[in-house]
Amino acid sequence: MSDWAAHTARAKEWFEQLRDNICAEFEAIEREAGSDAAFQYTPWDREEEGNEDPGGGVQGLMKGEVFEKVGVNVSTVRGNFSKEFAGQVNGASAEAPGFTATGISLVAHMANPHVPAVHMNTRFLTTEKAWFGGGADLNPPIPYEDDTEEFHASMRAACMAHNPTYYERYKKWADDYFYIPHRECHRGVGGIFYDHLECTDDASFERNFAFTQDVGKAFLDIFPKLVRKRMRQDFDASDEARQLEYRGRYAEFNLVYDRGTIFGLKTGGNIDAILMSLPPRATWS
């Protein structure tokens, strides 16, 4: 029988290490731009009536010269879903509402409109079932075909190392998921998105954990390269206006459709951490 508590602890440790590596790289980019900006870390505790150990997390936030606003959050929470929400979660029900969840969530909004915004998250959940989910997607206000191809090539390589069908399946899932119906447009240029990658025993946990780790490593490899390529590129007022309008679309998706936002709000998460994905500035015309 699998020890899901031990598996959750291993996943938590990895997500924290990935956070540390990402934040160090982003701070290094700020140093290259002559900035001393650094992440500020704010611990938070979850509260749930009758639950002596509901968990919590750490919100990491940096505002700098290159990263206008970037949040990197890690949380590990446990407890019970509300009866109304339990039926919407894989493996949970009103009769079995218990869960544990650990994961990392990252959103970066960039100062230069030519540098793409980005989102990445990976997570491990247990209910009556256990599974991994996550992905990464690129969100440029001003898309560049070569940036898009490089980002997708990195995600494709991470997928192909584990299953030749993963990339096309998870790319389509991202295209379908990161779509704004009321605008009839996509949120960005895509990436990969996967969910309910189920673990039924120790062997399947190890396979899915290894894939999830490689998604995080691929992100850490490719995104800083794209930032460094574009962060000194000149821009004008029209470029910034395009960026701010795009950010409005991004905010609309995250507030109306994003399941991660809904999950955080429905499970008593930290409001500031949940809504750190929102841009610091945006416009609606």
Q: What local confidence, expressed as pLDDT, does residue 1 receive?
A: 60
Question: Average pLDDT in the 129-153 region?
Answer: 98
Q: Is residue 284 part of a domain?
A: no
Q: Is residue 231 part of a domain?
A: yes
Residues spanned by the domain of 83: 4-277
Q: Is residue 140 part of a domain?
A: yes
- Assess contact for 65 and 34: CB atoms under 8 A: yes
* CA distances for 137 relative to 25, 133, 148, 188, 192, angstroms: 19, 14, 10, 7, 6
Q: Is residue 138 part of a domain?
A: yes
Distance, CA of 120 to chain centre: 3
Residue 41 phi/psi, 5-degree rounding, is: -110, 130
Q: Is residue 266 part of a domain?
A: yes
Marked catalytic residue, from 7, 109, 119, 186: 119
CATH of the domain at 108: 3.40.1500.10
- 119 is annotated as an active-site residue: yes
Sign of the torsion angle spanned by Cα atoms 263, 130, 123, 47: positive
Q: What local confidence, expressed as pLDDT, does residue 79 receive?
A: 87
The answer to whether residue 201 scores a pLDDT higher than 80 is: yes
- Closest C-alpha among 31, 135, 23, 9 to residue 76: 9
- Note the pTM of the prediction, 2 decimals: 0.94
Q: What local confidence, expressed as pLDDT, does residue 94 receive?
A: 78
Q: Is residue 100 part of a domain?
A: yes
Domain count, the chain: 1
Instruction: Give the pLDDT band (50/70/90) at residue 165.
Output: very high
Q: Is residue 246 part of a domain?
A: yes
Q: What is the 3-state secondary structure (H, E, C) of 261-279?
A: HHHHHHCCCCHHHHHHHCC
Q: Is residue 24 part of a domain?
A: yes
Mean of the per-residue pLDDT values of the chain: 95
